[in-house]
Amino acid sequence: MTRLAGKSVFITGASAGIGKSCAHEFAKAGANLVLTARRLDRLELLRQEIVAAYPNAVVHCAQLDVRDAQAVEKVVASLPATVSNVEVVVNNAGLVRGLDRTEDVALENVDLMLDTNVKGPLNVLRALLPGMRERQSGHIINVGSIAGIEAYPGGSVYCATKHALNAITQVLRHELMDTPIRVSEIKPGLVETEFSVVRFNGDQARADQVYEGMTPLTGQDIAEIAVFIATRPQHVQIADVLVVATDQASATKCHRRP
């Protein structure tokens, strides 16, 4: 039995990549899950996979676009009793679009990234934090990025969103310091998920080039870290984890084999 047994874990962006791996890992740790994303069909398939692997797992799926504050409130307000006391929230939903110079970024992509990566986690926190404060219990795990502490050409908006999330994480630690609620951030470097396919608008070949000649992290690597963070004793708050592939030195430097 782990410290997470029977606890409710709310994951955003659970339909793919890191969020999907988190769903598997938290289920393995005995948690009850709330899986959210826009693609409900994927969540339902994931629920079936998890229940097949862990027959006692409690899994609640909800279609959710984190950009929609009212929808977030509605999903949180209608959680079934088995998962309504959310103990851990993994603020993972996020995306990048394009690699354009600052002056060339399409306005719709500016909004898309800011709304998803910054307003999204804020919407989720606004809905879940009051309950955590009331219960005097909870753990916020934000999925930031190496792009939240570094910057690279073509990343003005995405890097800005992850720097903003880093600021939000730090603010929360101040605001919640006098409560038992913990706040953590994981900042991954290159993780091979659907992230780059989304960045390059479905261009799989271009996405593959991002990881060419190097061994990137996997969603599973990040999920294991998330569960590690969530299973420390109550007095231990892992504030910040920067995790990169062994082949990666910085946001812009990777060792690539021919």
CB of 193 to ligand 8X3, least distance (A): 9
Question: In sequence order, which residues have a C-beta less than 8 Å from that of residue 87 and are 6 or more positions away?
Answer: 4, 7, 8, 9, 31, 137, 138, 139
Q: Is residue 195 packed enough to be buried (19+ CB in 10 Å), middle (13-18) or exposed (0-12)?
A: buried
16 SS3 class: coil
Strand ranges for 103-163 from DSSP E: 139-143
Question: Residue 92: which of ligand NDP, ligand 8X3, none does it interact with, CB under 5 to 8 A by kind?
Answer: ligand NDP
Taking CB under 6 A as the criterion, the residue among 176, 188, 226, 244 binding ligand NDP is 188
CB closer to ligand NDP, 19 vs 138 = 19
Q: Is 162 a catalytic residue?
A: yes
**Applying CB under 6 A, which residues contact ligand 8X3?**
145-147, 155, 158, 190, 251
User: What strand order describes the sheet that includes 59-63?
Assistant: 59-63, 32-37, 8-12, 86-91, 139-143, 182-188, 240-243
Rounded CA separation 62/64 (Å): 6
Residues 203-242 that bind ligand NDP (CB under 6 A): 219
Which among 96, 22, 92 has a CA at the least distance from the CA of 59? 22
x/- binding map, residues 100-119, to ligand NDP, per CB under 6 A? ----------------x---
Stretch in the footprint of ligand NDP (CB under 6 A) among 34-42, 51-59, 201-209, 241-249: 34-42
Maximum Cα–Cα distance across the chain: 56
Q: Which is nearer to ligand 8X3, 138 or 144 (CB)?
A: 144
Which of 7, 20, 119, 158 is catalytic? The answer is 158
Residues forming the site for ligand NDP (CB under 6 A) = 12-19, 37-39, 64-67, 92-95, 116, 143, 145, 188, 190-191, 193-195, 198, 219
Active site residues per annotation: 158, 162
